[in-house]
Amino acid sequence: MAQLKSLADFEKLRDEITGKRDPNKPCITICAGSGCIASGSPKVADAFIEELKNQGLQDKIDLRQTGCHGFCEKGTLVVIHPEHICYIQVQPEDIPEIITETITNGNVIERLLYVDPETGEKIAHEQDIPFYKYQDRLIFGNNSKTDPKNIDDYIALSGYSALAKTLFKMNTEEVLLEIKKSGLRGRGGGGFPTGRKWEEAARISSDIKYVIVNADEGDPGAYMDRSVLEGNPHSVLEGLIIGAYAVGAHEGFIYVRAEYPLAVENVGIAIKQAEDYGLLGKDILGSGFDFTITVHRGAGAFISGESSALMSAIEGQVGEPRPKHIHTVVKGVFDRPSVLNNVETWANVPIIIDKGADLYASVGTEGSTGTKIFSLVGKVNNTGLVEVPMGTSIRDIVFKIGGGIPGGKKFKAVQTGGPSGGCIPEALIDSPVDFDELTKLGAMMGSGGMIVLDEDTCMVDMARYFIDFLKDESCGKCTPCREGITQMLGILNDLCEGRGEEGDLELIEAIAEVTRAASLCALGQTAPNPVLTTIQYFRDEYEAHIRERRCPAGVCKALFSYYIDPEKCKACMICLRNCPVDAIIGEKGQIHVIDQAKCTKCGTCFDMCPDRFGAVTKVSGTVPTALPLEERVIQKGK
Amino acid sequence: MEIELAKVDEVVDKYKGDEGMLIQILQDVQGEFRWLPKEALERVCKKLSIPISRAYRIATFYTAFSLEPRGRHLVNVCLGTACHVRGGSRILEKLEQSLDITAGHTTPDQKYSLERVNCLGCCALGPVITVDEEAHGRLVVKDIDAILDGYE
């Protein structure tokens, strides 16, 4: 591969690549994101390769293994272009039929189509599926069109054109102004204006400066950064190089979680390919600008995603935060000015340069421009990654795109912002989602995790889950965070285990206040959010735990027992055979009874009892006495 | 315990003896041995001319490192929020029961190590576990034994 030495070289290459591509040539795209890989996409891809060869079609049909399409619930996803026919949950055995029927004969295979659960309608084209239809995929759209391991795919979609424009047609001031005008705010959680951050770093004179991609996506339940980095790594690299040019940095770091092996692999390949083309390294495209990137793998510590902690980790130290009296843009990695943004923020940069700040800012709300990718997970039908303009309502995201709650259950709340975020109840479901609105509600944007909770979720348990998480992840350096979280967890454990007392809520609120005010970094400062928002919006549930020793959602094990309703039990032996501790007494024709002394409340019987019987139930308080043995007989005709 | 120190040397040399890359070096060393033997840590520190306490500080701070030998297969149970609300903790309980160890430990026959992780980023498939690199999703308790039986 020849190195590109000038703008003309780059434009020539781009024209060559696009010239070779026929937009009407059939192309099969297979999602190769982590979700679909777990659902078996590599086997589907192998089957396609083999079948195309068998039918002698390998030169007539393009096959592309792309980044994450986002509709992970329905993986493995296959989309056939140019018609955009979308097949869901594709298995290797479906492939010969797809090639013969769809590719050769041009027929749609009905059984592989998405069925709208509301209307029962089968939908053939990707863009008509409600999950996709209501999205605005500015950042994420190219994921499904490109092979992340092939830089040419990115260049064919005008990739690196924004970089070329920056290097040859804009000076650093113009780039800074454009980013400022776009209104871009950091997608990693804080929502700090990116342009201001860059400007501060640019104004400092220092011969060494750094730019950093924070890909230590630690919020449990959030995986959009992973999918962008995995699925379209060049968009992040391009943004990073533009940022480096704007602030005057020549070295960059990408700090990525080791739990994301595919992201590590793809970003490594992308860097190598960009270097080979001369888009990275010395004298990029002959512009005189030098820039190199090093990848650091994280080693499993949530706190390392905090900016100053991440910078310590890059230095090879323990990833603990430090006081930020002096901002990291002034003194960051090795005490040099360092600009850190998360993956999604960097991926926005080329789009802003390409489209222009004004056009970019026309999407979203006044205070929060552009789009945001959410990871819509939990108790929702269409789990996946969802990109919408800022300001879209929670209702639209959960119901229009997410398709509502599975199993006919009732929506209860959404949890946003990860462990530092909060729970938003049903009454506020029409709130628009942007940085400022979410903060007003006591939650926060965070990196964009949106976990849907239904009536079977206990809010006290939810708060305990996050506090337990934060207790593990607090680095322990400062006392308010270390002790405050530990004490809050102790109280929440008491509540969940039936030892709650009057006054506990007031005490936890007082501890929360101190933790928030006195902790060193954002982990401790925001740790009380999950507790405070659940108390604020679901106080009655807390009170039920304290006053009635009852868990209304039936989650806190100490506060309920499993019970087999003798009226409903058909003595089918399913629960009995599957009980891991042999706690169920009974036999064929004899109504089953749970031995409460042996029961570990694992819930297997509850899950296994066929829905048409529904005999296993959860009861609070005293369990009804079992029928005497002679009465445990299934009566015929009942 | 005898370990091949040449492998350690290779890793340190790959990073040109840069002590700033200590975390990456330890990850690669662990990649070789599946855990961090004391002899390996001593060798790394000697080659980098840093005190052994620094390596131990890193190795005990980050959850990815293990100072105990690990089994042939590493089972990671996702307890991220999405998996939690879909019953991830029950999957963990079942694994603990079937393997007869608690999370963070290795079975006496060295076949399995069990770890809890905060999010594997496969939230749509929750609850999810990985065995080595392979993900198993949409799990219910009764799937677990069959999965465990599938590894040698």
For A48-168, strand residue ranges (E) read 62-66, 78-81, 85-87, 114-115, 122-123
Which amino acid is residue A113, in one-letter code? L
Residue A637: pLDDT over 60: no
How much is the pLDDT for A237? Answer: 97
pLDDT tier at A620, thresholds 50, 70, 90: confident
* φ, ψ for residue B26, nearest 5 deg: -65, -35
Q: Return the residue matching tokens 């509709």.
A: A71
Tens of pLDDT along A228-261? Answer: 999 999 999 999 999 999 999 999 999 998 888 8
Q: Please list the residues that pair with A616 across neighbouring strands.
A: A564
Partner A, chain B 55-94, Cβ-Cβ below 8 Å = 57-58, 61-65, 79-82, 84-87, 90, 93-94
Q: Which residue in B23, B118, B123 is closest to A469 by CB distance?
A: B118
Of the candidate CATH numbers 3.40.50.720, 3.10.20.600, 2.40.50.140, 3.40.50.300, the domain formed by A371-457 belongs to 3.10.20.600
- List Cβ neighbours of B76 (8 Å cut-off, separation of 6 or more): B115, B116, B117, B120, B129, B130
Is residue A546 within 8 A of residue A502, CB to CB? The reply is yes
Radius of gyration in angstroms for the set of CA atoms belonging to chain B, rounded to a whole number: 17
Residue A638: pLDDT over 60: no
DSSP result, A135-160 = ---TTTGGGGGS-TT-HHHHHHTTTT
Instruction: Give the per-residue SS3 of A440-493.
Output: HCCCCCCCCEEEEEECCCCHHHHHHHHHHHHHHHCCCCCHHHHHHHHHHHHHHH
How many cross-chain Cβ pairs, A to B, lie less than 8 Å apart? 139
Q: pLDDT higher for A633 or A184? A: A184
pLDDT tier at A23, thresholds 50, 70, 90: confident
Q: Which two tokens stand for residue A517?
A: 């005010």
Name the maximum alpha-carbon separation found in chain B: 51
pLDDT tier at A636, thresholds 50, 70, 90: low
Is residue A6 within 8 A of residue A283, CB to CB? The reply is no
pLDDT tier at A301, thresholds 50, 70, 90: confident
- Tell me what the pLDDT averaged over chain A comes to: 92
Fold of the CATH domain B73-149: Glutaredoxin (3.40.30)
* pLDDT, mean of residues A466-471: 92
Interchain contact B36–A (C-beta under 8 A): no
How much is the pLDDT for B1? Answer: 58
| Strands A411-416 vs A422-425: parallel, antiparallel or unpaired | antiparallel
pLDDT tier at A473, thresholds 50, 70, 90: confident
Domain with CATH 3.40.30.10 in chain B: 73-149
pTM: 0.90
- Interface contact B27-A297, CB threshold 8 A: yes
Pseudo-torsion of CA A296, A302, A306, A309, nearest 10°?
A: -60
Is residue B95 within 8 A of residue B130, CB to CB? The reply is no
- List Cβ neighbours of B13 (8 Å cut-off, separation of 6 or more): none
Tens of pLDDT along A429-441? Answer: 999 999 999 888 8
* pLDDT, mean of residues A352-360: 95
Mark A292-302 as b/e (b = at least 16 C-beta within 10 Å): ebebbbbbbbb
Which amino acid is residue A457, in one-letter code? T
Q: Please list the residues that pair with A450 across neighbouring strands.
A: A376, A416
How much is the pLDDT for B84? Answer: 85
Distance from the Cα of B57 to chain A's closest Cα (Å) equals: 7
Tens of pLDDT along A535-544? Answer: 999 999 999 9
Give the domain ranges of chain A.
25-132, 151-361, 371-457, 460-547, 560-632
- Interface contact B125-A35, CB threshold 8 A: yes
Question: Which class for A469: exposed (0-12), middle (13-18), buried (19 or more C-beta within 10 A)?
Answer: buried
- Interface contact B123-A39, CB threshold 8 A: no
CATH architecture of the domain covering A460-547: Up-down Bundle (1.20)
How much is the pLDDT for A1? Answer: 62
Fold of the CATH domain A25-132: Glutaredoxin (3.40.30)
Q: What is the pLDDT along chain B (152 residues), one digit of tens a residue?
A: 567 889 999 999 999 988 889 999 999 999 999 899 999 999 999 999 999 999 999 999 888 899 989 999 999 999 888 888 888 888 999 999 899 999 989 999 999 999 988 888 788 888 999 998 888 988 988 889 999 999 98
Tens of pLDDT along A496-514? Answer: 999 999 999 999 999 999 9
* pLDDT, mean of residues A556-568: 92
Distance from the Cα of A14 to chain B's closest Cα (Å) equals: 34
Which amino acid is residue A53, in one-letter code? K
| H or E, element range at A431 | none
- Residue to mutate among A41, A216, A256, A259, with most B CBs inside 10 A, is A259
Closest CA to A14 of A26, A4, A29, A25: A4
Distance from the Cα of B105 to chain A's closest Cα (Å) equals: 17
Residue A38: pLDDT over 50: yes
Is residue A72 within 8 A of residue A380, CB to CB? The reply is no
* Nearest-Cα residue of chain B relative to residue A476: B61
Fold of the CATH domain A151-361: Rossmann fold (3.40.50)
How much is the pLDDT for A470? Answer: 92
Residue B27 and residue A142: Cα distance in Å, rounded? 33
Residue A534: pLDDT over 90: yes
How much is the pLDDT for B17? Answer: 87
Residue A108 and residue A31: Cα distance in Å, rounded? 19
Q: Which residues from B are below 8 Å from A301, CB to CB?
A: 61-63
Fold of the CATH domain A560-632: Alpha-Beta Plaits (3.30.70)
Residue B129 and residue B75: Cα distance in Å, rounded? 7
Which amino acid is residue B62, in one-letter code? Y
* Nearest-Cα residue of chain A relative to residue B22: A316
* pLDDT, mean of residues A595-601: 91
Residue A82 and residue A101: Cα distance in Å, rounded? 16
Distance from the Cα of A369 to chain B's closest Cα (Å) equals: 26
